[in-house]
Structure 1
Amino acid sequence: MGTGNTAKVIARDGGTVAKVFHRHIGSDYIEYEYAIYKEIAKTPLQVPGLYSFEKENHALIFERIDGNSLMAEMRRSPLLMPIHMRRLAEWHADIHNCRDLLLPVFTNRLASRIIQGNDLNESEKEKILSHLGGLPDHERVLCHGDFHPDNVLITKKSHVIIDWADASVGNRLADIARSVLLINYGGLTSSPVQGMFRRLLAANYIRSYRRAGPFDMSELKKWILPVAAARLSESIGETEKEVLLKLIHARMNE
């Protein structure tokens, strides 16, 4: 059904799928992800059911969800894009209404990824980490960590939010900043049409979220620098990397 950096998803009988992790992924990581999904199951959010951890198969077993991604729906009906982005923003706000979960802290995860990256020098990393340390971190709301239109499936009855491996708790603005960057630049190519479409999506998402849960744009912008720097540690394309580096250096010089 699909293959990613850490695992491939295989359909099984009985309405289930197996997320089979690549052999270089250790059992500790799979147990960690298993614990995260069990924590997410405590919320009222619509997420795939998690059935078991099959150690012998290096796999997590989930409920099978039949549906198209929200991005696929937007490509199919572009005139409905504003409605879809409004729903995406409302569902993100629903996530941020969840609290009291035993999950990693978002800022700690950002700091770790900034340190791990190879595209910034040590002086730049120290400056960004200092900036991160000065941001408000008293909130402990649920943050998805990878929320974008491809991680919401539209089913016949409703929607289901998938891919919770990066879930954490922290400031909702950090999670919103992550989504803005992913919508704008995730998997970006050199196509000017794609770039224009992405900017339109991001603008609609921000406007819609501010209706669901108002926030100050100047406060959101403060999170863009560390979130973008952390993104560099991931397996991303050269076009996206170039854009993020330009964005990071521009923000550092403001």
Structure 2
Amino acid sequence: MVEKILIASGNHNVFREGNRTVKVFRKDFPKSEVLREALHMALVEGTGLKVPQLRSVEVMEDGCWAIVYDYIEGKTLMQHLEEEPDKMEAYMDQMLDCQLEMFGKKVPLLNSLKAKMKRQIQGLDCINDITRYELLTKLNSMPEHAKLCHGDFCPSNIVVAEDGWYILDWIHAAQGNASADVARTYLLLTLNNLDAAYYYLNRFCEKTGTAKLYVQSWLPLVAAAQLTKKRPEEADLLHSWLNVVDTD
């Protein structure tokens, strides 16, 4: 019995049913993508990170596919930031600690982040061939790593529960360069909270000894990947980030 609609989006709706969460996909949503998300959840569950436990993949009576996993009681980090803006720095520090713990894990069966970004840039229809070439050249020059990357690590995908912080939504998970994942988190934060974005990036660089310019060198690439979502309200900012490509 459905108790509450948690999320309603173009591709799926998320419902609570008792101690379970049911993510129901649109009927024409590719079956392969549903199964890919479920596989990612199962693989990441094996790392020991705090994530909802996958329970089943089902076909609903109306023919829609659904993923069933544990419901995590608590508010999202986004809600906490909205309700307690004075605690932004403390929340960003703890969020970064969660992300650094994630980077310490390896999941060899996940796809390559660089390969995924290459496909996204190649398929982007809102850039010219020169920009595409520069982006692909830049991507090819970036180091290939095998750290667990979330691909959408942001406050709305973290639930603050009594027993810890849980990371949700692993559809975009891949193995790759941690600084690419950080650059994407920074991008997502800038769309909602510039102060949090600046603090987060500075703290990552301080904690890890990573040069800020190195993380920033990923920004045109993650901006191009974000453009594939075709969100008009983000287009101007993302296109402006494409213009800082440096192929030297």
Q: TM-score, normalised by structure 1?
A: 0.89
C-alpha offsets along residues 204-234 of structure 1, whole Å, 9 cap, x if unaligned? 1112223432211121121111111111111
Kindly provide the amino acid, as one letter, of the partner of residue 164 in structure 2.
S
Cα contact 2:220–2:244 (8 A) shared by 1: no
User: For the residues of structure 2 that align with 1:229 and 1:105, how far apart are their CA atoms?
Assistant: 17
Bigger mean CA offset, 37-46 vs 115-124: 115-124
Report matched runs for 1:1-254 at 5 Å.
Answer: 1-13=6-18, 15-56=19-60, 57-137=64-144, 139-185=145-191, 198-236=193-231, 238-251=232-245
Q: What residue identity is the alignment partner of 2:149? A: C
Distance in 2 (CA, whole Å) between partners of 1:235 and 1:151 is: 20
Equivalents in 2 of 1:226, 1:4: separation in Å?
26
Q: CA deviation at 1:252?
A: 5.1
Task: Specify the SS of the correspondent of 2:152.
Answer: coil
Give 4+ residue runs of structure 1 displaced > 6 Å after superposition: none
CA apart distance, 1:39: 0.6
Task: Give per-residue Cα distances to partners, 1:17-70, cap 9 Å, x unaligned.
Answer: 111011111212211111111111111210011001113451010101111111
CA distance in 2, matches of 1:216, 1:4: 37
Paired with 1:184 and 1:67, the residues of 2 have a C-alpha distance of 25
Q: Which amino acid aligns with 1:140?
A: A
Give the number of aligned pairs.
240
Q: Residue 247 of structure 1: CA displacement? A: 1.8
Q: CA deviation at 1:100?
A: 3.9
Letter in 1 for 2:48: P
- Displacement after TM superposition at 1:253 (Å): 8.9
Q: Distance in 2 between matches of 1:151 and 1:125?
A: 30
Residues 39, 101 of structure 1: 8 Å contact kept: no
Deviation digits for residues 137-168 of structure 1, max 9, x if unmatched?
A: 1x100000000111111112321110110000
Amino acid at match of 1:205: Y
One-letter code aligned to 1:149: P
- Secondary structure of the equivalent of 1:251? coil
The alignment yields a C-alpha RMSD, in angstroms, of 1.6
Letter of the aligned partner of 1:106 in structure 2?
Answer: L
Q: SS of the residue aligned with 1:35?
A: helix
Q: 1: distance between equivalents of 2:128 and 2:186?
A: 25
1:96/1:172 contact within 8 Å kept: yes
What is the TM-score normalised by the length of structure 2?
0.91
| Structure 1 residues without counterparts, runs of 5 or longer | 189-197
SS at match of 2:55: strand
Higher RCO (C-alpha 8 Å, min separation 6): 1
Aligned partners of 1:114 and 1:125 also within 8 Å:
yes
Task: Please say if residues 90 and 209 of structure 1, whose CA atoms lie closer than 8 Å, have aligned partners that are also in contact.
Answer: no
